[in-house]
Amino acid sequence: MKRTLVFIGIILFILSGCQSNQINQVSEPPANTKQNNIPEYVQSPDDIVDMHGDITNLDSFFTFIENVNQGMKDKIRVVTYTTEGDPMLHELDYNGEVIQSTTDTRRDKFGSGSISTATCKSIDIKEKDRRTDYDLTGCDKPNRDNTILVIWK
């Protein structure tokens, strides 16, 4: 009887060693479910580009703010680059009364990858010790990041 129990124990030990310890990993979604139809970003000479605090075309940005303050129609595109180098587009279209804000983060590999829109009333300028923040205010979607640009001093 003792030999039978030892034999069964050895068989169970051997069988348990044959089990796979491999963890099932979630594979990449099939290529047809990814957003493959996102157009590649091509920089326009009119774009206001914020590359990690190095900002180009600030004159266009300040002209836009002046036009909003004077009730004159205008539109701009602000492009902010992520740490990884992905462009996030923010289009602002002022029709003389309200600002239509469209944020496109689909090219951000680590972000939400979406397009969001909001209608806003004005631009708030917040002067701080080391920077100036430009934020949209009076927006119909308050739970969204309404930062347009941050200029470091």
In the chain, the number of structural domains is 1
Burial class (CB in 10 A: 0-12, 13-18, 19+), 119: middle
Instruction: Answer yes or no: is 101 within a domain.
Output: yes
Instruction: Answer yes or no: is 20 within a domain.
Output: no
Instruction: Answer yes or no: is 52 within a domain.
Output: yes
Instruction: Answer yes or no: is 147 within a domain.
Output: yes
- Domain span at residue 94 reads 44-152
Confidence (pTM): 0.74
Query: Would the pLDDT of 81 be above 60?
Result: yes
Lowest mean pLDDT of 28-32, 48-52, 79-83, 148-152, name the range.
28-32
Using one digit for the tens of pLDDT, what is the confidence trace for 86-120?
Answer: 999 999 999 999 999 999 999 999 888 899 999 99
Q: Is the dihedral of CA 138, 149, 84, 30 positive or negative?
A: positive
Order the strands of the 54-56 sheet from edge to edge: 54-56, 48-51, 74-81, 87-94, 99-104, 115-120
Query: Would the pLDDT of 72 be above 50?
Result: yes
Instruction: Answer yes or no: is 80 within a domain.
Output: yes
Q: Report the alpha-carbon distance of residue 106 to residue 38 in Å, rounded.
A: 7
pLDDT for 104: 96
